[in-house]
């Protein structure tokens, strides 16, 4: 936590409780995982069929790679770095909390860096490589629909979000490096040409999970891991 984090957390949560309808809307938006990711994923599919297709698909493959790297890097840093409790769990801050917020849901998960900020910043910085207008819209969506609600609800400090955005920027820079971009584009092009009946269902499923940051996969993994631990305890 940086010195400016407590000040900013108190600033952004100062109006919590004064506008119940706004609180409810922000809480709903924070939990609407597919809705938040859908505009980005729809953009990927729109771009996939744009002409010239080879150039468009090269961009889509690199952007998907960048977003995937952002997920892996941000989650890896969360799990391997020092544990940083979230603002809503920091009793010393005594922040006002939105009614209905799930305080227990994020227990045990470090707040630094914000994986949401990393993923949607990766989308935004990637779209800037397509056009300034697309990048500006994606960045506005990332800041207003993704990052701001998480700051308002006490899920993250400002430094978590800024660090996450830097992770996203690095991931996109890495994914668009010519050697890496060409390798993955060649693999995707070969799979699409060789087995389109398998490629497109897999591509759809992957992008659908990308929209929710692989929450379903992670939840399934946690259930499986807990089941294995319980089974080992019975043996």
- Phi then psi for 17, rounded to 5 degrees? 95, -20
Cα separation, 174 vs 169, whole angstroms? 9
**Per-residue confidence of the chain (235 residues) as pLDDT tens digits?**
788 989 999 999 888 888 989 999 999 998 888 889 999 999 999 999 998 888 999 999 999 999 999 999 999 999 888 888 899 888 888 888 888 888 877 777 888 999 999 999 999 999 999 999 999 999 999 999 999 999 999 999 999 999 999 999 999 999 999 999 999 999 999 999 999 999 999 999 999 998 888 776 666 655 555 566 566 667 6
- The rounded distance, in Å, linking the Cα atoms of 54 and 60 is 10
Half-sphere exposure of 29 (CA within 13 A, CB side): 20
Domain ranges of the chain: 17-234
CA angle 97, 36, 90 (to 5 degrees): 25
CA distance 75 to 69: 10
For residue 22, give the nearest of 88, 93, 99 by alpha carbon.
99
Closest CA to 13 of 151, 159, 155: 151
Which DSSP state fits 52?
S
Give the CA distances from residue 165 to residues 99, 123, 143, 146, in Å, rounded to whole numbers and listed in that order: 28, 10, 10, 12
Taking only the tens place, the pLDDT of each residue in 94-151 is 888 888 888 877 777 888 999 999 999 999 999 999 999 999 999 999 999 999 999 9
Distant-in-sequence, close-in-space partners of 61: CB < 8 Å, separation ≥ 6: 181, 184, 185, 188
């Amino acid at each position: 936590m940086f010195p400016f984090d407590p000040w900013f957390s108190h600033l952004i949560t100062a109006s919590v409780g004064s506008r119940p309808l706004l609180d409810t809307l922000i809480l709903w938006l924070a939990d609407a995982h597919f809705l938040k990711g859908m505009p980005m994923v729809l953009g990927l599919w729109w771009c996939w069929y744009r002409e010239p297709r080879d150039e468009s698909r090269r961009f889509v493959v690199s952007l998907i790679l960048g977003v995937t790297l952002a997920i892996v890097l941000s989650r890896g840093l969360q799990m391997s770095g020092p544990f940083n409790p979230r603002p809503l769990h920091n009793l010393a801050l005594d922040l006002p909390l939105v009614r209905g917020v799930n305080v227990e849901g994020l227990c045990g998960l470090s707040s630094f860096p914000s994986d949401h900020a990393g993923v949607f910043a990766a989308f935004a910085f990637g779209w800037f490589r397509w056009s300034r207008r697309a990048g500006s819209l994606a960045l506005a969506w990332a800041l207003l629909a993704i990052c701001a609600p998480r700051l308002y609800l006490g899920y993250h400090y400002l430094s978590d979000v800024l660090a996450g955005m830097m992770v996203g920027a690095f991931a996109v820079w890495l994914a668009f490096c010519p050697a890496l971009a060409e390798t993955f584009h060649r693999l995707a092009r070969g799979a699409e040409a060789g087995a389109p009946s398998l490629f497109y269902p897999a591509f759809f499923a992957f992008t659908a999970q990308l929209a929710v940051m692989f929450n379903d996969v992670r939840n399934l993994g946690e259930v499986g891991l807990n089941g294995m631990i319980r089974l080992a305890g019975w043996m």
